[in-house]
Amino acid sequence: MKTGWRYRLLSIIGVCAITAAAVLVANHRIPQYLFTTYVPVFNRLPVTVYTGEKFVQILSLSIGFTVVTLLPLYKPRPRRHIDTVTLVQKRTLVAGLALATLGYFNRSHSLPRATLVMATGILMVALPLWFVLVRRAPSTDPDRVLIVGDDIDQIRRIHEEVSMPFIGYLCPTTVSTVDSRERVTAIVDGGDPISNLERLGGLSRLNDTLVERDVDTVVLAFQQSDREEFFGALNICSEHGVATKVHYEYADSVLTSESSSRPLIDVEIEPWDLQDYLVKRGFDITFAVTGLIVFAPLIACIAVLIKLDSDGPVLYRQKRTAGLGGRLTVFKFRTMYPEGESSVPIEDEENDRITRVGRMLRKTHLDELPQLWLILVGKMSTVGPRPVWTDEEALLEDETEVWRKRWFVKPGLTGLAQIRGAGSTTPEAKLRSDLEYIRRQSFLLDCYILFKQIWLVVLDVASY
């Protein structure tokens, strides 16, 4: 990944050149003939090839609109490849729609439909490849490693034991010692407790440092790897597409790709490869859209029944924990009276706050229908660990060690724990099932869990 003005200049030059090439190809007589002869919908359009001043006009408009719509990509910020591809394609589509809109309102500036569609299609493929190539270009230091954490002794140990090209480390001015929970001042002004390794700032500098220093790998050195600071750093690394590692002796609270005695092992952030990720996301969208369409009349009936049964809103909203420790607002049909909510898990049979309609909704799982929208917009997945109420999560963490390992994947509507009957009232069983899913996850396993859950719902409905 290039940095600064050189990266911006290279990006813009590449966009201009690729856009010009796409327009040249789309404006050529042979591609025009093939496209307007063999492609459905467009096979009745005439072959239209512009030359001279008119060609210069459509070429200038195409380059100008494409360059402007891709402005967010010129900032030298590392991203995961799939995020780069998605963002470039979205922006390219916007440029194509903007050109079509301009031509609709001003015929003198319009591009032939065949030319516009062909050029946009070429750019949807070529521009993402260009930005991925640019971001993968090696820097003068191809391996650039940063240590991030709040455990100064662990940072020092990693630096001494591991032979890697460390560029420095980030840690707060006040850090924790290994053998005490007391906060002590470990770094004083003008001092550096680790020889030959530069302190580049506090944890808040992580975002900027990854970009400014062109970091490839981050080694996490936190005293407690199941706390907010650890997952916050891990989330930033995930967004930037930076590999993360931990010392093997401190890996008990994270998901790793291997069991090894080597000093550093990889942290699993993205267990899905690109193909599986696209298949899973495509399945989520299909499932959510189908469910919302099929159950639309039932959703309306449930809303009416809830209003007739008891006072209060139709939908119940609750803050729950999402992937990597984030926060997610989950919507469900309200099944209880609004008063007296408690974070202590309790079985439905013992809960006297559940309404008459609510018991029916819970027994048939219809109270979960509003979450189809969260799946559609990408906040949840069809299959994954169920998100837990943030207040309840604190209680579950006290009962079960390494509970936050569940944070490593996107939460789901159902999961392995649900089809096995493990819930918040049995946190250890729930955690075992969720961790098993995280380590085994695949599209085939998702299909098995989903079909098993549907069968269980059918049985519940029949028994009700």
**Shared-domain flag, residues 200 and 93:** no
What percent of the chain stands above pLDDT 90? Answer: 11
- Other CB atoms within 10 Å distance of the CB of residue 59: 18
Q: Is the pLDDT of residue 22 over 80?
A: yes
Query: 308 and 206, same structural domain?
Result: no
Does pLDDT of 333 surpass 60? Answer: yes
Domain total in the chain: 3
Averaged pLDDT for residues 320-338: 76
pLDDT of residue 250: 61
Enter the tokens of residue 295. 């159950």
| Cα 73 from Cα 132, distance rounded (Å) | 11
The number of beta carbons lying within 10 Å of the beta carbon of residue 429 is 15
Residues 313 and 441 reside in one and the same domain: yes
Range of the domain at 231: 145-266
Taking residues 62-78, what's their average pLDDT? Answer: 83
Is 118 within 8 Å of 188 (Cβ atoms)?
A: no
In this structure, the answer to whether residues 442 and 334 fall within a common structural domain is yes
Residues 53 and 191 in one domain: no
Integer Cα distance of 409 and 270 in angstroms: 8
- Distance from C-alpha of 99 to C-alpha of 95, rounded to nearest angstrom: 6
99: number of Cβ within 10 Å:
24
Q: First-to-last CA distance in the chain?
A: 59
- The residues facing 147 across adjacent strands are 169, 219
- Pick the closest to residue 271 from 161, 384, 103 (CA basis): 384
If you search the block for the tokens 């579950």, which residue do you land on?
396
Q: Please give the structure tokens belonging to residue 221.
A: 């050195």
Same-domain pairing of 286 and 383: yes
What is the residue whose two structure tokens read 């984030």?
326
Centre a 10 Å sphere on the Cβ of residue 41 and count the other Cβ atoms it contains. 8
- C-alpha 360: how far from chain center: 34
Type of residue found at 163 = S
Last residue of a domain, one of 114, 136, 158: 136
- The domain boundary residue, chosen from 92, 115, 136: 136
Q: Is the pLDDT of residue 99 over 60?
A: yes
Neighbours of 325 (CB within 10 A): 19
At residue 267, does pLDDT exceed 80? Answer: no
Nearest of 418, 391, 417, 316 to residue 358 by alpha carbon? 316
Which residue, of 209, 231, 266, is where some domain finishes? 266
309 and 430 together in one domain = yes
Do 300 and 240 lie in one domain? The reply is no
262 and 119 fall within a common domain? no
Question: Could you tell me if 320 and 431 lie in one domain?
Answer: yes
User: On the CB side of 45, how many CA atoms lie within 13 Å of its CA?
Assistant: 20
Here the tokens at position 245 are 């590692």
Contact 446, 415 (CB under 8 A): no
Average pLDDT, the chain: 77
Cβ–Cβ < 8 Å for 438, 406: yes
Q: Which amino acid is at 106?
A: N
Q: Across-strand partners of 328?
A: 320
| Cβ-proximal residues to 299 (8 Å cutoff; 6+ apart), any chain | 292, 369, 370
List all residues 6 or more positions away from 391 whose beta carbon is below 8 Å from its beta carbon.
343
By residue count, the chain amounts to: 464
Whether 222 and 245 have beta carbons less than 8 Å apart is answered as no
Among residues 312, 347, 308, 350, the alpha carbon closest in space to that of 332 is found at: 312
Look at residues 210, 211, 200, 143 and name the one whose alpha carbon lies nearest to residue 7.
Answer: 211
pLDDT in tens, 406-434: 666 778 888 888 888 877 667 677 777 77
Q: How confident is the model at residue 63 (pLDDT cuts 50, 70, 90)?
A: very high
What pLDDT was estimated at residue 190?
43
d(CA 269, CA 255): 8
Same domain, 279 and 156: no
Q: What does the alpha-carbon distance between residue 106 and residue 19 come to, in Å, rounded to a whole number?
A: 22
13 — pLDDT class (breaks 50, 70, 90): very high
Q: pLDDT tens-digit profile of 137-179?
A: 444 445 688 999 888 888 888 888 888 888 889 888 755 444 4
pLDDT value of position 188: 38
Residues 166 and 315 in one domain: no
